[in-house]
Amino acid sequence: MIGINLAYILASVLFILGLKGLSHPRTAVRGNLTGALGMFIAIVATLLDKNIISFEYILLGAVLGSAAGAIFALKVKMTAMPQMVALFNGFGGAASVLVAGAVLSESIIKGGDPGTQFLVATAASGLIGAVTFWGSLVAFGKLQGIITESPVRYKGEQVVKVLLLLGALYAAYRTTQGQGDVQWYWMAGGVGSVLGILLTIPIGGADMPIVIALLNAYSGMAAAATGFVLNNSVLIISGALVGASGVFLTKIMCDAMNRSLPNVLFGGVGAVVETIKADDIYGGKVKATSPEEVAMLLKMARRVVFVPGYGMAVARAQTPVRILTEELEKDGIEVEFGIHPVAGRMPGHMNVLLAEENISYDKLKEMDSINDTFGNTDVVIVIGANDVVNPLARQSSGTPISGMPILNVDKARTVVVIKRSLAPGFAGIPNPLFALDNTLMLFDDARKAMENLVRAYREAA
């Protein structure tokens, strides 16, 4: 008993050190390996414990699961990372439901009083796990394009959700009565599943990064609850770490969009009245440009900043962006990337997409540090981003993005916006940036525009 607990302490310490390693890209790879070592130690210690009397089923499950996990991990495209993380979160939640269910059945067969902590934690595992699993599946479906990504709203939505929540809590309560009740346990899991679906399906579009972060938090809480079922310290510690990480990221994402979490979850409260007409803002003031003109501007620039949005990844324009970056640097021009926290489909997604293209990570600047530098930037190239550079966000009210922190690209000498048309972003509102005196619109597909720009830059003397 002492041996296994010491191993669990060691594993917990390695998890914490592993997460600590993620505080810098230099130490991050080693940090992740440290975490994996902790997991290995925890698993081996559990297997060696004398309570384990049979290995063949464990082996079967582990081989199948590991093979599937490895295939996913090696095949997945970096653009598809959000849906994969969503799916993995879901599996963790489902595992919690099954473990707590199995332990409850066993405890009832054994008889005796399992204690309040055991019963409450079991009900919580089942409920949180089920919400996590089905919520994650819906998020996966939305990100993968299987389910519509736009928010699905209906009349009486909040009432339905509240009733389901009460139903799930009642079933959880019945689970904890007497020696525990397996039927009510699965009932709680079932109602939790429906709740998981209905909580996630109304969220969509620009809010997807928040959903992913929130599901991450749920999966941690489910693991911690299972830890309370088994009285197992390493599960509790890991669950707490992951839960903290998920909550922290959820908060960052909410702040980056100036939304409160209840507003994202329950939405539709105090909907914004649309008063801004695109014609009033754009009428006669939008200037189109050509790759050649932009190339000339770049030739004369000393500092250039790219502001990429998910549209860049959709158009697969990362490669020409990297090539242009290299060309500019060859001419002694300083190049940096301004990255909004919600650029991409999950927290930090844009950084991974650019790192994959071999763009040095010290050029990837977060919003707060790059915003002060736009004043002495000659050319900003906005590519596939819209709402995160919309000056309307500075108005305190009246638009869906009011109060959202944005990248102050309009402070730069020239702003080049690469975009197919003047169509609005997720927020559905026009962008006055496109009509500013110092803005030039390069209307084209992001990839084609960048390739043309690379060619024009090379040809410009």
Residues taking part in catalysis = 387
Q: Please say which residue, 291 or 344, places its beta carbon nearer to other proteins.
A: 344
Stretch that binds other proteins, among 220-228, 300-308, 388-396, 424-432 (CB under 8 A): 220-228
Question: Which parts of 66-125 interact with other proteins (CB under 8 A)?
Answer: 66, 68-70, 72-74, 76, 78, 81, 84-85, 88-89, 91-92, 94-96, 98-99, 101-103, 105-106, 109-110, 117
Q: Say how far apart CA 8 and CA 41 lie, in whole Å.
A: 8
Task: Give me the least distance between CB of 184 and other proteins, in Å please.
Answer: 16
Q: Please say which residue, 65 or 283, places its beta carbon nearer to other proteins.
A: 65
Q: Say how far apart CA 192 and CA 164 lie, in whole Å.
A: 8
Task: Determine the residue type at 175.
Answer: T
**DSSP-based helix, strand, coil % in the chain, nearest 5:** 65, 5, 30
Q: Say how far apart CA 43 and CA 33 lie, in whole Å.
A: 15
User: Looking at 160, 165, 194, 252, which residue binds other proteins (CB under 8 A)?
Assistant: 252
Q: Please say which residue, 157 or 329, places its beta carbon nearer to other proteins.
A: 329
Task: Give me the least distance between CB of 171 and other proteins, in Å please.
Answer: 19
Task: Give me the least distance between CB of 400 and other proteins, in Å please.
Answer: 23
Q: Please say which residue, 101 or 202, places its beta carbon nearer to other proteins.
A: 101
Stretch that binds other proteins, among 52-60, 163-171, 301-309, 392-400 (CB under 8 A): 52-60
Q: Say how far apart CA 426 and CA 395 lie, in whole Å.
A: 18
Task: Give me the least distance between CB of 271 and other proteins, in Å please.
Answer: 30
With helix as H, strand as E and coil as C, how does 321-386 read?
Answer: HHHHHHHHHHCCCEEEEEECCCCCCCCCHHHHHHHHCCCCHHHEEEHHHHHHHHHHCCEEEEECCC
Which pair of structure tokens corresponds to residue 311? 């549209």
Single out the residue of 272, 239, 438, 410 nearest to residue 338, CA to CA.
Answer: 410
CA distances to 113, 137, 206, 395, 425 from 400, rounded to whole Å, are 54, 28, 11, 11, 11
Question: Which parts of 330-389 interact with other proteins (CB under 8 A)?
Answer: 339, 341, 346-349, 351-352, 355-356, 358, 360-362, 364, 366
CB 121 within 8 A of CB 225: yes
Question: Which parts of 188-217 interact with other proteins (CB under 8 A)?
Answer: 212-213, 216
Task: Give me the least distance between CB of 426 and other proteins, in Å please.
Answer: 20
Q: Please say which residue, 57 or 154, places its beta carbon nearer to other proteins.
A: 57
Task: Determine the residue type at 352.
Answer: V
Question: Which parts of 4-43 interact with other proteins (CB under 8 A)?
Answer: 12, 15-16, 18-20, 22-26, 28-29, 31-33, 35-36, 38-39, 42-43
Host H or E run for residue 133:
helix 116-144
Question: Which parts of 222-251 interact with other proteins (CB under 8 A)?
Answer: 222-224, 226-246, 248-249
Task: Give me the least distance between CB of 259 and other proteins, in Å please.
Answer: 18
Task: Give me the least distance between CB of 295 and other proteins, in Å please.
Answer: 24
Give the number of other CB atoms < 10 A from CB of residue 248: 14
Q: Please say which residue, 257 or 449, places its beta carbon nearer to other proteins.
A: 257
Strand order in the sheet with 439-443: 364-366, 334-339, 303-308, 379-383, 414-419, 439-443
Asked whether position 327 contacts other proteins by CB under 8 A, the answer is no
User: Looking at 1, 2, 53, 159, which residue binds other proteins (CB under 8 A)?
Assistant: 53
CB 258 within 8 A of CB 401: yes
Q: Say how far apart CA 172 and CA 184 lie, in whole Å.
A: 7
Q: Please say which residue, 43 or 165, places its beta carbon nearer to other proteins.
A: 43
Tokens 């990100």 belong to 143
